[in-house]
Structure 1
């Protein structure tokens, strides 16, 4: 399997709503902890993990034998779904350990496709507009070790996602695909709502499309949010862009001179 497979969408999504397979052939996992385990194995590649340790992490309140039995069931279900989506040899399981094959699994996951090496302008990356938090909606309250691991993993994934979205937005803008760039820019403001640089990029795209009214509404909403939530004023660069938007709207809104006014202007010009 090549490092960057040619399928349009990642076969396994961990960012936002967790999914496995394709739209035509969607897969499913029976066990919620299967997603937690899959994300852990994907981020911790190429480490080999002892099954006893994984069982203790995911079922800390159960006796050792019962935890291993639960893990065996989750692994069987997980391997079934992965084989159906991507083939054999991705999830490597033996009596003592479990891991993802670094080569066979590379490029199957959405987190793999955040690499700078993948061309940012590739339209196969439209899935970025749907990407969100790692294991969105998944929580294992009674699993302390996993809960300690998850926030750091989410921060790692979020930083990579933001950078990938920025590269894709800038590439789409440079290619003249402003509508696509606008969608990515909106996604960035959702994921990072108080980063004014992201909002400025979005406002600039609105202006490029001639959508000054939408730009002004967005700016004023940002201004109100900053004051209400953070008790701060917009950054000078953001404020300057807001003033430019207001000037453009004012120019468009000015009434056209009457014929008599044009005569006065013409006389003054010739004086």
Structure 2
């Protein structure tokens, strides 16, 4: 199994009345029509926050802290109400109770606000479900099903959560989804390494470094694969890239594990891939010079 073709083909969202994509460029469509403009300054941010917490009541205080962290609030403040009205107008989100009226409802309830929709699809929800599904398959000894679920998840992750926006609540969610993606990629990379599938290890490594350029376990895997393929010069280049980025971005040196991976390759110790069809398992011995 190779992941390379899958990486280039992100699946389309299934048909839904409300469709929302948070990864990369934020996009929303209602009834199949893209939402291009949002009324009122914070109406889009309010919708994003409520969609992130869909079907949960968010209190006024939670919304104010997230969306207006620096503002001083008075009882007469209307900013939240204006944002709600703008979001309702843009989305056609009626005030009717559940089970009636508009298929999208932005409801005032229990001192807060709730976003509900009868027919909705959201990339972060699908991503999260597929990652959790894949990890469950893995824990129950079903590697093929695990790989299928995790590949579907990674296909959805085509950019950081709300890339280009920098509010604190966005940064927190961004790190959460980034950690899920890195965990999924780590499982897939380990499985590919065990199978001796060098192409997939490299493709997954490059995908991981797009998300986290300082992910040392990925550099270690890429260094080892280069060694297994008898490419010590390539192993050294991966190490040097890791070293430059760590020094420039956070002012540290590569870890002992990363240095050890390179040393193992340069001294010819370790394993080498068995010649034959792609997917053959690596065997113990000296890497090819």
Q: Same fold judged by TM-score > 0.5?
A: yes
Contact persistence 1:36–1:135 (CA under 8 A): no
1:255 is matched with which residue?
none
RMSD, matched Cα:
4.0
Spell out, residue by residue over 1:111-142, the C-alpha distance to the aligned partner (whole angstroms, 9 max, x if none): 5413321454224345256232x211024xxx
1:74 is matched with which residue?
87
Higher strand share: 2
2:185 is matched with which residue?
165
Distance 1:55 1:232 in 2: 39
* Residue 132 (structure 2) aligned to one of 106, 116, 126: 116
Aligned length: 223
* Residue 27 (structure 2) aligned to one of 19, 41, 50: 19
Normalised TM-score (structure 1): 0.61
> Is 2:52 the counterpart of 1:43?
yes
Spell out, residue by residue over 1:185-240, the C-alpha distance to the aligned partner (whole angstroms, 9 max, x if none): 22323433333222112333444566544332121222233345545442222112
Distance 1:165 1:26 in 2: 33
Normalised TM-score (structure 2): 0.58
* Residue 114 (structure 2) aligned to one of 99, 114, 124: 99
Contact persistence 1:16–1:136 (CA under 8 A): yes
Structure showing greater radius of gyration is 1
**Counterpart of 2:25 in 1: which secondary structure?**
coil
1:4 is matched with which residue?
none
**Counterpart of 2:114 in 1: which secondary structure?**
strand
**Counterpart of 2:147 in 1: which secondary structure?**
coil
Alpha-carbon deviation of 1:180? 4.0
Distance 2:78 2:250 in 1: 51
1:183 is matched with which residue?
203
> Is 2:223 the counterpart of 1:195?
no
Moved more, 238-247 or 59-68: 59-68
Spell out, residue by residue over 1:72-119, the C-alpha distance to the aligned partner (whole angstroms, 9 max, x if none): 222332458xxxxxxx987432355643449855x6322541332145
Ranges in structure 2 where 5+ consecutive residues have no aligned partner: 1-9, 14-18, 94-100, 135-144, 269-289
Higher helix share: 1
> Is 2:174 the counterpart of 1:137?
no
Distance 1:52 1:229 in 2: 36
